[in-house]
Amino acid sequence: MKKFFKNHFTALTVTSSLVLVSMLNACGEKAQESNPPKTEYTDTVSVEAEVVKLSELNISRSFSGTLEGEEQANIVSKIPERIVGIKVSVGEHIQAGTVMFELDKGGASSQFYQSQAVFLNAQKDYERMKNLFNEGAVSRQALDQTQTGFEVAKANFDAAKNTVEITSPISGVVTAINVNIGEIANPAIVMATVANISRMKAKFNVGESEVPSFYTGQQVQIYSEMNPDVIQSGKIFQLSKSANVQSRTFEMQAIFSNTNDRWFKPGMFCRVNVNLKTKKDARVIPLAAVVKSNNTNGVYLINDNKSYYKTITTGITDGKLIEVVSGLNVGDKIVTLGMNNLKDGTVVVISNN
């Protein structure tokens, strides 16, 4: 009986030991599963980059302006009278002295027929007096008095004629006609415009802070947004000495030659590009490369294929490139695209060359 209990106890002990070992092994396996071996990962970021270089930096501005002919005349009437004839058309090239409008010669405001009658009578008297003087019938003084009366009558008639036959004071192209036959010509209203458009003026306004950047003879580029491919070179020829009291801006005028087909027309809107400042051998980088942080400018500098943020001091910009005053050297490689994913020590792969 003792032998039975002894053998049974031994077997139970062995079995318990095996179960305990199995449990310990199982726990070890679970521990290994919950704590896998650590693997180190190195993230890389694809970026575009450029090097700091020396370049000429031109600072330019574009202004809105309006065009006029270099020589331009607004045609107005001297008297309020009915328009009975329009002798020219828009686009027609005319010479100085060409009759453009005819007004009613018999109207209440016209002195045409009255002055014409006085002139014709004075002309007859003068011709008769010359014949008498040649025959010795009258004195030189009498002839001179008659001649003076004739010349005064002629001047009055010419003036009256010019009020009803309105002429162009310049040679050029009729760019606008603003009245119709039958209307009353009002001295306060421009009837037409004549302009010499072989050369044009561009008028534009600039702010007070920009005035010191302008000077007579300064080169400009003029174009219209309707056809930006047609660009003419010109120069500043007039600078306003006082500001407009309402806009507080200063008027500038540039002169330029029109195209052979006279594409630019008076009254058109235009753009005037002006180079305000030029700096040679400036250290420049793309403006897009600049990263602002805590009110300072900086870039991501690439060194040994890793990015590092570098604070820089910037200068002038043309909108595409910006000057680097300090913080970078010529030849330094900086990130120009992909900066948002970077921090100090990030490994980068340059995707552009």
Length of the chain: 353
Q: Pseudo-torsion of CA 5, 7, 10, 12, nearest 10°?
A: -70
Q: Does residue 18 have a pLDDT over 80?
A: no
- Return the closest-CA partner of residue 60 out of 206, 216, 225: 206
Express each pLDDT in 64-87 by its tens digit: 999 999 999 999 999 999 999 999
- Return the closest-CA partner of residue 192 out of 117, 260, 297, 91: 91
Residue type, 246: Q
> If you ran DSSP here, which 8-state letter would residue 14 be given?
H
Task: Provide the pLDDT for residue 107.
Answer: 84
Task: Provide the pLDDT for residue 17.
Answer: 45
DSSP assignments along 112-134, one per residue: HHHHHHHHHHHHHHHHHHHHHHH
Inter-CA distances, 178 with 91, 95, 201, 243, 256, Å: 13, 20, 22, 31, 27
Taking residue 136's Cβ as centre, other Cβ atoms within 10 Å add up to 7
- Residues 351 and 353: their CA atoms lie apart, in Å, by 6
The three-class DSSP label of residue 212 is helix
Q: Which residues pair with 323 in a beta bridge?
A: 284
Residue type, 279: K
Structure token digits, residue 79: 């008297």
Taking the model in full, what pTM does it have?
A: 0.59
- Return the closest-CA partner of residue 219 out of 273, 278, 280: 273
Taking residue 179's Cβ as centre, other Cβ atoms within 10 Å add up to 18
Express each pLDDT in 116-152 by its tens digit: 999 999 999 999 999 999 988 889 999 999 999 999 9
- Residues 131 and 147: their CA atoms lie apart, in Å, by 13
Q: How many alpha carbons fall within 13 Å on the CB side of residue 92? A: 14
Inter-CA distances, 319 with 99, 186, 220, Å: 53, 51, 18
- Residues 145 and 259: their CA atoms lie apart, in Å, by 56
Express each pLDDT in 312-334 by its tens digit: 999 988 889 999 999 999 999 99
For each of the domains in the chain, give its residue range(s) and CATH number, in order of start.
47-58+280-350 (2.40.420.20), 61-66+197-277 (2.40.30.170), 77-185 (1.10.287.470)
What confidence tier does 351 reach under pLDDT thresholds 50, 70, 90? very high
Task: Provide the pLDDT for residue 7.
Answer: 46
